[in-house]
């Protein structure tokens, strides 16, 4: 292990000691899943049948949740309305380990809510059919502004860092920002700001973290090449002490207070959804520098965290264990995890409102039947864990000449499939122990199984915690044994 990797592992271990005050705009992200069933009798409009609702804190709230998931002790300061959605977003924070004692209620405004209605069905992928939003919030003022400042001053002596999220410029007023910087100087707090439209506003902050477009907006230019990036970055360092500009697949370019510039590359990853990745990076930066890391350390860890986030659909939070795995490197393919690692991953997925699918098998000589089955299983949820039989267990099941492909190579092939999110090896005759440990929402079974022929212990375990079982029929004439016989010339 290199010295840098060892240092980064030690930094991750210190995240649990970092106390963060997150200040900024709070949104409730509401995802509503269902199907369009008919045309209304009252008007020529579709009828949307609601199947499920999921809620996540958005804007600065998402950054706060990421900081908590990464191990920090986080308190949120912001403004919500006196309405039903305020209660929903508070509960969503609490479920994700974020202290809500700093949130201020303003009866004169609605809780900022951003909704997506997604319709789909059997063999029809989910797609957005409608978006909803509340009116653009005005900048906080009057008694609500005073209450936000009071919370900042109350919490400042108890924290190590301030994470500022300025997505819609409705919480961080001049007076609020002045209070943050006054407290930061008085109590030696690290400060990191992330702003969609005002990256140049945050004078004196330790780190400003815009993306390249936001950096250009602050500098009044379009960032289209290295020269314009340098111009925007150097402008930002006339305001903030340091700037860290995220550039998607190009990584993060660090503009330091001493005039040095460094671009830290990102590990190649197939991006599925970049929504919320900037919040993940901001959370990683504030924890890293508060834990004693350098700007370079923050960029490396921020890139790794973003890579984990964008490889998954929807807005997700990245756990400390996931980031540690990325830092220290797995012994096999990146998607191959231990049961202990998967416990934390599945818990985080479920907390974020994601439905987890479990399936298992030997997957020796992957063929079209396997692919069809795995695609159908993955369609039952938002993330899929594949339990892969070890070589020893395959021999016990199939005979001494199997498997044809060893377990690590089988894990690598499965990991290359987009529909497979995680792989775990197991050697027991039944996956019951892993099912009980991970408690997947859906247990997918293939072939000729029915609810009556599934191992009853497995069925009882799944149904006991409220999970469901999906029976996925196999494809006629597609089997590994048949493929082996055809290759060997056996009848």
Contact by Cβ (8 Å): 61, 78: yes
Q: Domain 3-328 in CATH: superfamily? A: Ribokinase (3.40.1190.20)
Q: Which CATH superfamily is domain 339-488 in?
A: HUPs (3.40.50.620)
Spatial separation of the C-alpha atoms in residues 192 and 243, rounded to whole Å = 10
Which H or E element spans position 422? strand 422-426
How far is residue 105's CA from residue 84's CA, in Å, rounded to a whole number? Answer: 12
pLDDT computed for residue 250 by the predictor: 93
CA–CA separation, 271 and 264 (whole Å): 18
Q: What whole-number distance in Å separates Cα of residue 139 and Cα of residue 136?
A: 10
Number of DSSP helices (H) and strands (E) in the chain, helices first: 17, 18
Contacts (Cβ under 8 Å, ≥6 apart) of 427: 389, 390, 392, 393
Query: pLDDT 10s digit of each residue in the chain, 491 long?
Result: 578 989 999 999 999 999 999 999 999 999 999 999 999 999 999 999 999 899 999 999 999 999 999 999 999 999 999 999 999 999 999 999 999 999 999 999 999 999 999 998 666 677 889 999 999 999 999 999 999 999 999 999 999 999 999 999 999 999 999 999 999 999 999 999 999 999 999 999 999 999 999 999 999 999 999 999 999 999 999 999 999 999 999 999 999 999 999 999 987 777 777 888 999 999 999 999 999 999 999 999 999 999 989 877 778 899 998 898 888 765 567 788 888 889 888 988 888 788 999 999 999 888 888 999 999 999 999 999 999 999 999 999 888 888 999 999 999 999 999 999 999 999 998 899 999 999 999 999 886 666 666 777 888 899 999 999 998 876 655 666 666 666 766 66
Q: Find where tokens 């400060």 sit.
A: 191
Cα–Cα distance between 379 and 402 in angstroms, integer?
Answer: 30
Q: Which residues participate in catalysis according to the annotation?
A: 279
Neighbouring CB atoms inside 10 A of 101's CB total: 10
Q: Which residues pair with 39 in a beta bridge?
A: 46
Q: What is the pLDDT of residue 100?
A: 98
Cα 236 from Cα 399, distance rounded (Å): 65
* C-alpha to C-alpha distance for 356 and 15, rounded to whole angstroms: 27
Helix (H, G, I), strand (E, B) or coil at 301: helix
Taken in order 278, 295, 76, 193, the sign of the CA dihedral is negative
Q: Closest by alpha carbon to 76, among 13, 27, 129, 134?
A: 27
Contact by Cβ (8 Å): 87, 2: no
Domain boundaries along the sequence of the chain: 3-328, 339-488
In this predicted structure, what is the pLDDT of residue 483? 67
> Is the separation of the CB atoms in 61 and 93 below 8 Å?
yes
In terms of phi and psi (left: phi > 0; alpha: psi -120 to 50; beta: otherwise), the region of 488 is alpha
Supply the angle between the helices 212-219 and 226-236 in degrees, to the nearest 10: 70
Mapping DSSP to helix (H, G, I), strand (E, B) and coil, where does residue 348 land?
Answer: helix
**Distance between CA atoms of residues 35 and 121, nearest Å:** 6
Q: What pLDDT, on the 0 to 100 scale, is given for residue 344? A: 85
What global pTM score does this model have?
0.76
Q: Report the alpha-carbon distance of residue 264 to residue 237 in Å, rounded.
A: 18
**In this structure, is the dihedral angle defined by the CA atoms of residues 423, 427, 429 and 432, taken in order, positive or negative?**
negative
Rounded to a whole number of angstroms, the CA Rg of the chain reads 25
Q: According to the model, what pLDDT value does residue 329 have? A: 63
The answer to whether the CB of 450 falls within 8 A of the CB of 471 is: yes
């Amino acid at each position: 292990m290199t010295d840098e990797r060892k240092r980064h592992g030690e930094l991750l271990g210190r995240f649990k000691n970092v106390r963060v005050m997150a200040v900024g705009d709070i949104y409730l992200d509401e995802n509503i899943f269902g199907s369009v069933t008919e045309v209304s009798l009252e008007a020529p409009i579709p009828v949307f049948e609601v199947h499920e609702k999921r809620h996540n804190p958005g804007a600065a709230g998402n950054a706060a949740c990421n900081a908590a998931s990464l191990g920090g002790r986080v308190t949120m300061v912001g403004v919500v309305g006196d309405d039903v959605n305020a209660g929903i977003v508070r509960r969503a924070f609490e479920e994700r380990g974020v202290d809500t004692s700093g949130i201020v209620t303003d009866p004169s405004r609605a809780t900022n809510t951003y909704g997506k209605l997604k319709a789909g069905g059997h063999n029809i992928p989910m797609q957005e059919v409608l978006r909803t939003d509340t009116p653009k919030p005005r900048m906080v003022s009057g008694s609500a502004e005073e209450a936000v400042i009071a919370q900042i001053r109350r919490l400042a002596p108890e924290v190590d860092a301030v994470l500022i999220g300025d997505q819609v410029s409705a919480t961080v007023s001049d007076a609020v920002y002045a209070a943050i910087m006054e407290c930061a100087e008085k109590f030696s707090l690290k400060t990191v700001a992330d702003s969609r439209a005002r990256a140049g506003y945050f004078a004196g902050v330790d780190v400003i973290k815009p993306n390249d477009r936001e950096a250009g907006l602050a500098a009044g230019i379009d960032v289209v090449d290295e020269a314009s990036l340098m111009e925007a970055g150097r402008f930002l360092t006339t305001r903030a002490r340091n700037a860290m500009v995220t550039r998607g697949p190009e990584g993060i370019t660090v503009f330091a207070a001493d005039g040095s510039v460094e671009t830290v590359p990102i590990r190649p990853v197939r991006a599925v959804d970049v929504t919320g990745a900037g919040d993940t990076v901001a959370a990683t930066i504030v924890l890293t520098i508060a834990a004693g890391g350098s700007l370079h350390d923050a960029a490396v860890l921020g890139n790794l965290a973003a890579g984990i986030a964008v490889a998954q659909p929807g807005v997700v939070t990245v756990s400390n264990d996931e980031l540690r795995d990325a830092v220290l490197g797995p012994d096999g393919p990146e998607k191959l995890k231990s049961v202990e690692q998967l416990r934390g991953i599945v818990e985080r997925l479920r907390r974020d409102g994601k439905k987890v699918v479990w399936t298992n098998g030997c997957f020796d000589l992957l063929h079209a039947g396997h692919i069809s089955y795995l695609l159908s299983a993955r369609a039952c949820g938002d993330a899929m864990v594949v339990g892969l039989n070890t070589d020893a267990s395959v021999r016990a099941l199939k005979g001494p000449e199997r498997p044809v492909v060893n377990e690590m190579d089988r894990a690598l092939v499965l990991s290359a499939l987009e529909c497979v999110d995680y792989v775990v090896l197991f050697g027991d005759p039944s996956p019951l122990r892993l099912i009980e440990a991970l408690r997947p929402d859906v247990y997918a079974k293939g072939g000729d199984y029915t609810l009556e022929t599934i191992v009853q212990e497995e069925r009882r375990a799944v149904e006991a915690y409220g999970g469901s079982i999906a029976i996925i029929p196999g494809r006629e004439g597609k089997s590994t044994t048949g493929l082996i016989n055809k290759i060997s010339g056996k009848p």
